[in-house]
């Protein structure tokens, strides 16, 4: 397998958008003297994001190769800021059918990759951006739920479009409640209980791109252990 950069990430997927929720990760980054991370400011509004950026500038971080975009409120100026200050190379957005993009991202179109979520990205939207951002846990969840059409469409898209980045999250053998809508049951999660929850990725190893962001709300220290585990089982 090609060399892969498994990025521990500052992840805000289900946590509330308060400073205290991500400051622990900032403290970990500072203590561990990390040079690069991925960034998922998924639930953070603009003011909170810029507070986060300022805190990151006070750490040892030199590069943030990957950032998850909020297409609904991240303007071009913010993308410029990330590229200039953190040397960001690739971004991802959710499918535009679910989260319409309200800004003109044409300047960075080839560096933006569309994530599969509940839906597989359409060919029309993929043709306007750089290609696919594969979230393997979302894909595997649909496979385990018996969604053969989703699996077929993913393989069809991969055959036609580049994979620029991916998200790596755990899969539970048991169905678990969705953290936002508990009435919905799923296998994918952003919190790891044991390393074996990443073993499903062995079935997708040929699709893993060079830039691969670990999407976990576990501590940065635990994510570094996951990074080592992924390097052992996938490379």
Tokens of 52: 């986060």
Q: In whole angstroms, what is the distance from residue 138 CA to residue 154 CA?
A: 11
Give residue 15's pLDDT. 55
Averaged pLDDT of the chain: 94
Helices (H), the chain: 19-32, 46-57, 76-86, 123-126, 136-144, 148-160, 220-234
> What domain count does the chain have?
1
pLDDT digits (tens, 9 = 90+) for 33-80: 999 999 999 889 999 999 999 999 999 999 999 999 998 899 999 999
CATH code of the domain covering residue 45: 3.20.20
Identify the domain containing residue 85 by its residue range.
5-234
pLDDT digits (tens, 9 = 90+) for 104-124: 999 999 999 999 999 999 999
139 half-sphere exposure, CB direction, 13 A CA radius: 25
């Amino acid at each position: 397998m090609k060399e892969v950069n498994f990025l521990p990430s500052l992840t805000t997927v289900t946590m509330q958008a308060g400073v205290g929720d991500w400051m622990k990760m900032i403290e970990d980054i500072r203590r561990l003297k990390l040079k690069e991370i991925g960034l998922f400011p998924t639930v953070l509004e603009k003011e909170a994001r810029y507070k986060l950026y300022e805190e990151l500038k006070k750490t040892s971080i030199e590069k943030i190769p990957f950032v998850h975009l909020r297409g609904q409120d991240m303007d071009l100026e913010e993308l410029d800021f990330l590229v200039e200050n953190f040397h960001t190379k690739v971004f991802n957005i959710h499918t535009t059918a679910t989260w319409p993009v309200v800004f003109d991202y044409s300047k960075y179109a080839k560096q933006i990759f569309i994530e599969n979520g509940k839906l597989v990205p359409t060919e029309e939207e993929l043709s306007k951006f750089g290609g696919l951002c594969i979230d393997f846990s979302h894909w595997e969840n649909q496979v385990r739920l018996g969604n053969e059409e989703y699996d077929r469409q993913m393989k069809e898209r991969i055959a036609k479009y580049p994979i620029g980045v991916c998200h790596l999250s755990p899969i539970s053998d048991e169905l678990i409640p969705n953290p936002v809508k508990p009435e919905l049951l799923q296998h994918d999660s952003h919190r790891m209980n044991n390393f074996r929850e990443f073993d499903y990725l062995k079935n997708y190893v040929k699709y893993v791109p060079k830039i691969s962001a670990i999407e976990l709300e576990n501590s940065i220290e635990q994510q570094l252990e996951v990074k080592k585990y992924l390097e052992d089982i996938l490379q």
